[in-house]
C-alpha cells in the first residue's frame, strides 16, 4: 500500500461539479492499493499517516502529528501510484490491485480513519478534480 501525503492548508475534491470532500489544515493522502495489499497493511499505513510528524511544534520544527494537532484528513484513491515506471515511457499497472479489492481496502481505510480524525474523501474510480494549498510544500511518499 502506498500513500503520498501532502501537508495542506486546505484541500478539496470535486466529482461531476459536486464537492465530495473538503478539509482545512491537515493532510491530503493519495492512496494507492497494490495487488497483494491487506487490511493489516491499511491499518499500518493509517497509523503511520496519523502519527507522521510533519507539523510544526512551538519551536517551528516538524515534530507534531495530525493527531497531535487535531487537523483533518482528505483521502483520495490514486491507482497510478502503483504504476511500474521502470521501463520505457508508458506506465504499466500490473502492480495495482483489481478494482474490487482496491475499493474494499479504500473503504476500509476510510472507516478506520474516521474513527480517529475528521476524514473526508473523494469517490473511488471517479474522474476527480483535486485542489490543494500545499503548506511548505511538504510531501512524503509512504509505503508499507
Percentage of the chain with pLDDT > 70?
100
Quote the distance between the C-alpha of residue 64 and its chain's center: 18
Domain boundaries of the chain, sorted by first residue: 2-143
**Alpha carbon distances (Å) from 81 to 34, 53, 140:** 9, 22, 13
- Annotated catalytic residue, options 79, 109, 119, 124: 79
Active-site residue flag, 124: no
Residues 28-45 have a mean pLDDT of 98
pLDDT of residue 9: 98
Query: In the structure grid, which three cell numbers stand for residue 77, read together?
Result: 484513491
pTM, two decimal places: 0.95
Beta strands 26-32 and 18-23, pairing class? unpaired
- Annotated catalytic residue, options 80, 85, 111, 133: 80
- Annotated catalytic residue, options 6, 34, 55, 78: 78
Residues 9-20 have a mean pLDDT of 98
- The CATH number of the structural domain formed by 2-143 is 3.50.80.10
For residues 11 and 102, what is the distance between their CA atoms, to the nearest angstrom? 23
Three-class SS state of 37? coil
pLDDT of residue 120: 98
89 CB-contact burial (10 Å; exposed 0-12 / middle 13-18 / buried 19+) = exposed
Active-site residue flag, 20: no
Active-site residue flag, 79: yes
Amino acid at each position: 500500500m502506498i500513500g503520498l501525503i501532502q501537508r495542506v492548508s486546505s484541500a478539496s475534491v470535486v466529482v461531476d461539479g459536486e464537492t465530495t470532500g473538503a478539509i482545512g489544515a491537515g493532510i491530503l493522502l493519495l492512496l494507492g492499493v497494490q495487488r497483494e495489499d491487506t487490511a493489516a497493511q491499511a491499518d499500518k499505513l493509517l497509523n503511520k499517516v496519523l502519527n507522521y510528524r510533519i507539523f510544526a511544534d512551538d519551536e517551528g520544527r516538524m515534530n507534531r502529528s495530525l493527531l497531535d494537532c487535531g487537523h483533518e484528513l482528505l483521502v483520495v484513491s490514486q491507482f497510478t501510484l502503483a504504476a511500474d515506471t521502470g521501463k520505457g515511457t508508458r506506465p504499466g499497472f500490473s502492480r495495482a490491485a483489481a478494482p474490487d479489492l482496491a475499493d474494499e481496502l479504500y473503504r476500509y481505510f476510510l472507516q478506520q480513519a474516521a474513527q480517529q480524525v475528521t476524514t473526508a474523501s473523494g469517490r473511488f474510480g471517479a474522474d476527480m478534480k483535486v485542489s490543494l494549498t500545499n503548506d511548505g510544500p511538504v510531501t512524503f511518499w509512504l509505503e508499507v
